[in-house]
Chain A
Amino acid sequence: MMMANVQSEQYQKLTQELRRGILVLAALSQLKEEKYGYALISSLAEKGLDIEQGTLYPLLRRLEDQGLLVSEWNVEGSRPRRYYVLSESGRNTLQDLAEDWRQLTGVMELLLAANANGGE
């Protein structure tokens, strides 16, 4: 029972790590047009990627610090919101990362397929 718990905890950590790796690409992919934080969370959730509330804003800030996003406060709506959008550098990075991602998924498919065949 204890072993099962440890394994489950380990599995959760591994999943978290895996998901953390793709969050940057996921967030960048949705910010070709400007969005505020909650809209981005909703947009990702609609497409099947749930992101923890506390994870997104720090991520957006880091991306902004790295020059991949630009942001500004918009006070015109019912309440002030900070809108994020890709910078020029962010658009280029998104393109490069998307290309890397496609290659990676291709490789991973091959690896997993070989693994599945080997196991049979």
Chain B
Amino acid sequence: MNLIDRYIQEVGRYIPRRKRGDILAELRSLLVDTLEDRFGQAPSETQIEDLLKEFGRPRDVAASYYPQSQYLVGPTLYPLFRMVAWIVVAAVLGAQAIAWGIGMFVAGETFSTLEMIASLVNSVPVSLGWLLITFMVLQYFDAKPHLEEDPWDPQKLPEINPEQDLKRWEVITGLVFGILALVLVTFFPQWIGFITTPGGKFYPNPIILDYLVLIKIALTAGIGLNLFLLWRGRWALTTRLLRIGLDIYDVFVLALLVIGHNEWLTARSAGGFLDAIEAIEGIADGGWELVGMQAFRLAFAVALIVTVIEILTSIYRLIKSRLRSDFSAKNAVLKVE
């Protein structure tokens, strides 16, 4: 747990996974060789710090492993761009498939193959185009010299802390579902609802339509945070606080949705859980609508409970992370290898 480890960890954030191990091993070897040659077996922390300053910022060191040229999306951003591009394509195709599915099997619409191809030819490049423009803007601002004004200080490298490790699959899954849900609520909100098994009648969910703006804000903020987490590659105090803040907002929105469903059901004398089961008997009289809304209420209530648990877990992790960070800072022992 020393500056070299932290430096190597930071450089690794900017290097594609495939080449990371090899490049980092080599970089470590070069750093340690240089230290040993200059200062012997036991260099001081100041000497290590000076060497790291000489080597340069981790991002620059990582960037030097890529061919030098002008970029629309440079090496620092490219791995994230590529990953998000695949996620966006998958989410757009998924949302399109769901929309077609609902349109054909629920709303009884028909789409010709040509229409479907035309729709894909439109939606995929447009989504990718916007993504590219977003990254070009990021690239442009990243290239601004004033962003590099802070003098490069190895002591500011993040501590190595397992609590800060990011479970990428969790973030990517969140991102995929977030984008999918956002596409659905933005373009096809009228198709969020339920279908009765007998009769095949489709009911849109009126409560979701009422709170559409709040839902979109929650989804967009969640996508933004997940993108930022992928970009940073680990948790930090600010992102943990942001996650807690967003989760609290989600709880608020979910509570509104549960209350909205409650009121809707109570107005139809089906506020209780058992009422839904009784309603099944009256299917012919629109009882399925009550069952469907009960199911939505249950789903939102479960999501509410899960989110509250997530908030408590996040607070626990945050406290644990801070304690560990304080502990390691006080007990850091300098070892070159």
Q: Is there contact, CB below 8 Å, between A79 and B27? A: no
A87–B34 CA distance with the chains assembled, in angstroms = 26
How distant is B236 from chain A, measured CB to nearest CB, in Å? Answer: 26
A45–B282 CA distance with the chains assembled, in angstroms = 90
A-B contact pairs, 15 of them (CB 8 A): A36-B33, A37-B26, A38-B34, A53-B34, A54-B55, A54-B64, A55-B64, A56-B30, A57-B26, A57-B30, A58-B64, A62-B67, A81-B29, A82-B25, A82-B26
How distant is B33 from chain A, measured CB to nearest CB, in Å? Answer: 4
A42 adjacent to chain B (CB < 8 Å) = yes
A interface residue numbers (CB < 8 A to B): 36-38, 42, 53-58, 61-62, 73, 79-82
B interface residue numbers (CB < 8 A to A): 23, 25-27, 29-30, 32-34, 37, 54-56, 60-61, 64-67, 337
For A79, the chain B residues whose CB sits under 8 A away are: 29, 32, 337
Determine chain A's interface SS by DSSP, over half rule: helix
Determine chain B's interface SS by DSSP, over half rule: helix
Q: Is there contact, CB below 8 Å, between A82 and B34? A: no
For A73, the chain B residues whose CB sits under 8 A away are: 25
For A61, the chain B residues whose CB sits under 8 A away are: 23, 65
Identify A42's interface contact among B37, B56, B67, CB under 8 A: B37
A42–B37 CA distance with the chains assembled, in angstroms = 10
Identify B33's interface contact among A37, A55, A58, A62, CB under 8 A: A37
For A82, the chain B residues whose CB sits under 8 A away are: 25-26, 29
A56–B27 CA distance with the chains assembled, in angstroms = 11
Chain A, residue nearest B61 (CB): A54
A81–B31 CA distance with the chains assembled, in angstroms = 11
Identify B27's interface contact among A42, A55, A57, CB under 8 A: A57
How distant is A37 from chain B, measured CB to nearest CB, in Å? Answer: 5
Q: Is there contact, CB below 8 Å, between B29 and A37? A: yes
A99–B66 CA distance with the chains assembled, in angstroms = 29
Q: Is there contact, CB below 8 Å, between B64 and A53? A: no
For B30, the chain A residues whose CB sits under 8 A away are: 37-38, 53, 56-57
For A58, the chain B residues whose CB sits under 8 A away are: 64-66
**What 10 A-B pairs are tightest by C-beta distance, nearest first?**
A38-B33, A58-B64, A58-B65, A37-B30, A54-B61, A82-B26, A81-B29, A54-B64, A54-B56, A53-B55
How distant is B54 from chain A, measured CB to nearest CB, in Å? Answer: 7
For A53, the chain B residues whose CB sits under 8 A away are: 30, 34, 54-55
Q: Is there contact, CB below 8 Å, between B64 and A36? A: no
Chain A, residue nearest B60 (CB): A54
Q: Is there contact, CB below 8 Å, between A80 and B29? A: yes
Chain A, residue nearest B41 (CB): A78
How distant is B148 from chain A, measured CB to nearest CB, in Å? Answer: 15
